[in-house]
A and B are shown apart, each in its own frame.
Chain A
């Protein structure tokens, strides 16, 4: 049994014109425990929606998301929030650090709603990522690369079993992109967390042994814009 199983996921939106538009149509997508997989897709192809459905931030119109055999897509919102806080890490393209919090506090926040604050572990993570002397700095006082590392630490602060990364290097200087990716993959491996990394950056995608094209798993893409779906 895979750690994450998506079955017949459909996500539909109503356009301003009143038409029903299908964004996601994913018959099957599995991720094993500890597996690291890259999902290749162009901008606007629905990759973020795909990740939000997995994370329980969006409820699919149809289909199931199973985590460790449990149908989390059937959970009520509050239970889904708790599941996310306990089991899932999320790395955003824009990092989404909170400006009013220090680097250490941002990481502590990542575990606040799940296992509970553990400042020592947060400090350990940041130290591992080379930010030992930046713990009390706020995001605005950090470089982009440093902000990215704080975001990585936050995503792994609750010791998740799966990490979702949405264009994790998209905002980084190409010189540092692979370094950041290496850190993310290294931390996930160290913690035994599975990783789903969506990106359109060929260098990022090439770094993964296991890689799928979003257009292949998302039938909605194939039907609407097949020519744009190729990375």
Chain B
């Protein structure tokens, strides 16, 4: 075996350029396969993760998925508003542990501003048993123009406690647009949560109602500056984050909500996203097929690379045979060489995989705030290199047969 590796190593050294190119191509293929599997799996886990701290989201009548994307992941547009009374009704139910209102409509350079109550810091659990923690400062005062920023917002926009900002109208930032008049002071910066909440700026819900240019009461009224108290009939919320005393209570509320015409209840949240991922599963499948195709192409590349050297190496094999190498030795040399190239490619594949995963995780974090677990294990990390080595060895069989059948006397004549 040692002599086989000796011959394989010399052969790879002799054909260094083609060996390196083939290793790189096998590495890219292997890295791609591992990345497709792990990124899709981790994305699904991260978005549908079962440890969300609340059970349901109540919002305007419409798509449950849109509601979840908007309220949980702070993506998409808001499906609309529901009256304040509905929020109060939910909040007062005996089977509801907490109900926290969200009102949206503004942004700061693309980062969403969410109006809510201080319960978001006192009661709300973004994950099971986990509440927001302050890295610096403290919560806003419900009646002041104050804000608390998520960690990604603070890091990206370089915001600290004491800094001020003026919100921009709408959920998307349009370059050149003038900000609102209102000036908000940052009172707190949150610790990272590795969720979409890290991309949010939290302000008192009153601030959203009172923001210049905002309409309330179904778009019919505007809160005038200096107005002491806003009538509850005017108030509206975009969503209500609900935690039940027992999660199955969501079923009863869902039945009730469905009978009405005003609202939609997304419950259970993981199911809504699960259905979404199921519907979008074909994209993952296509990506996986493409990745398999890349592996096959890499295998053919390996075959072509070795096969192209066969004429040149036929004499080499004949010499080895003349020195006493068996046919099986020559055959093994080729298969082992192909397998070695594939294994080295797979090792390189880990680096490719790491780079793709870190890059994807960064993009997903930037776009959604959701953080993928870069170091998480996945079976693909084991079977892809093994599969690649097998594909490589198989790719070596055809050239190996050619080497096996070398006629020594004729070749050396």
Contact = CB atoms under 8 A, between A and B. Distances in A.
Contacts of A114: 324
A79 to B, nearest CB: 9
B3 A113 contact: yes
B285 interface: no
A121 interface: no
B402 interface: no
Interface string A104-140: 0100111011101100000000000000000000000
A81 B316 contact: no
A1 interface: no
B6 A117 contact: yes
B322 A96 contact: yes
Contacts of A29: none
A65 to B, nearest CB: 15
A52 interface: yes
A132 B158 CA distance: 68
A98 B319 contact: yes
Contacts of B365: none
Nearest to B315: A96
Given A85-B323, A96-B322, A98-B316, A112 B10 contact: no
Most buried by A among B10, B315, B320: B10
B6 A81 contact: no
Nearest to A101: B10
A109 B11 CA distance: 13
Interface string B329-356: 1000000000000000000000000000
A21 B278 CA distance: 74
Given A57-B409, A96-B315, A117-B3, A78 B322 contact: no
A82 B323 CA distance: 9
Given A57-B409, A92-B412, A113 B324 contact: yes
Given A77-B327, A100-B10, A105-B10, A57 B3 contact: no
Contacts of B324: 81-82, 84-86, 88, 113-114, 158
Interface residues of B, number: 26
A113 B325 contact: yes
Given A48-B413, A77-B327, A78-B328, A57 B322 contact: yes
B313 to A, nearest CB: 9
Contacts of A96: 315, 319, 322, 412
Interface string B1-16: 0110011001101110
Interface in A57-113: 57-58, 77-78, 81-82, 84-86, 88, 90, 92, 96, 98-101, 105, 108-110, 112-113
A55 to B, nearest CB: 7
A104 to B, nearest CB: 12
B378 interface: no
B409 A113 contact: no
Contacts of A112: 3, 6-7, 323, 325
A153 to B, nearest CB: 13
A116 to B, nearest CB: 8
B409 A52 contact: yes
Contacts of B316: 98, 100
Interface in B389-413: 408-409, 412-413
A128 to B, nearest CB: 20
Contacts of B409: 48-49, 52, 57-58
B25 to A, nearest CB: 22
Contacts of A55: 322
A81 B319 contact: no
29 contacts: A48-B413, A55-B322, A57-B409, A77-B327, A78-B328, A81-B325, A81-B326, A82-B324, A82-B326, A84-B322, A85-B323, A86-B324, A90-B323, A92-B412, A96-B319, A98-B319, A100-B10, A100-B11, A100-B15, A100-B316, A110-B323, A112-B3, A112-B7, A112-B325, A113-B324, A113-B325, A113-B326, A113-B329, A154-B323
Interface of A: 48-49, 52, 55, 57-58, 77-78, 81-82, 84-86, 88, 90, 92, 96, 98-101, 105, 108-110, 112-114, 116-117, 154, 158
Given A81-B327, A116-B3, A117-B3, 11 more contacts: A48-B409, A57-B321, A78-B327, A81-B321, A81-B326, A82-B326, A85-B325, A98-B316, A110-B323, A112-B3, A113-B326
3 closest residue pairs by CB, A with B: A85-B324, A100-B14, A113-B324
